[in-house]
């Protein structure tokens, strides 16, 4: 097969999204309303490198997951927007977040959006996707639709305000190393 190792849909999807950064860039465009290179770089929780971000933005555009538009505030800058293909990843990201919450030592402030979306189910996902279509594609939302992104952002901000300064250590992790205790020979 010319475009992938096989025609398996999981393989082909992993070839597009399976690196360490692509889904995180989509996540930030989706949930954090970051649209410019500098915003994506500065706001990266994981500390993405400049060359990696530039490469992922290029690859995501090549695969039709994002589009680049001239920034009206600066001639040399670009604004990135999700495409319908990327917006349809909302249920996938919700399920990844749900799995991570159940099986990994997440921090509460970074897990709160995943929890809300998981509890809200497909109806909330659809409303969020409609909101993303409006903000990224210019497609008006159904009238009377409750804003989902604002609710997710407010929940994150409340959780972040009460977050400890250091992430929690998972219960199964060894305690941090301390000075050795003195022992007396018996």
**Residues 46/110, Cβ–Cβ less than 8 Å:** no
> pLDDT per residue over 153-166, tens digit each?
888 888 888 877 65
> pLDDT per residue over 55-64, tens digit each?
999 999 999 9
SS3 50: helix
- CA–CA separation, 108 vs 91, rounded Å? 20
Q: What is the pLDDT of residue 170?
A: 52
> pLDDT per residue over 1-28, tens digit each?
456 788 899 999 999 999 999 999 999 9
Query: In the predicted model, is pLDDT for residue 122 greater than 50?
Result: yes
**pTM, 2 dp:** 0.81
| Residue 169, number of CB atoms within 10 A of its CB | 11
| 83 compared with 175, residue with greater pLDDT | 83
């Amino acid at each position: 097969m010319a475009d992938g190792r096989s025609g398996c849909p999981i393989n082909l999807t992993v070839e597009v999204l399976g690196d360490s950064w692509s889904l995180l860039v989509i996540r930030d465009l989706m949930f954090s309303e970051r649209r410019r290179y500098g915003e994506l770089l500065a706001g990266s929780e994981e500390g993405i490198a400049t060359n990696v971000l530039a490469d992922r933005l290029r690859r995501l555009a090549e695969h039709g997951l994002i589009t680049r538009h001239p920034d009206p505030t600066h001639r040399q800058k670009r604004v990135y927007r999700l495409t319908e293909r990327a917006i349809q990843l909302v249920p996938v990201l919700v399920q990844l977040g749900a799995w991570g919450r159940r099986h990994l030592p997440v921090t509460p402030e970074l897990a709160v959006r995943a929890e809300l979306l998981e509890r809200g189910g497909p109806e909330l996902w659809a409303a969020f996707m409609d909101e993303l279509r409006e903000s990224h594609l210019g497609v008006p939302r159904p009238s009377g639709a409750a804003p989902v992104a604002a609710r997710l952002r407010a929940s994150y901000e409340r959780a972040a305000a009460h977050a400890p300064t250091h992430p929690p250590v998972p219960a199964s992790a060894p305690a941090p190393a301390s000075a050795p205790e003195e022992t007396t020979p018996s």
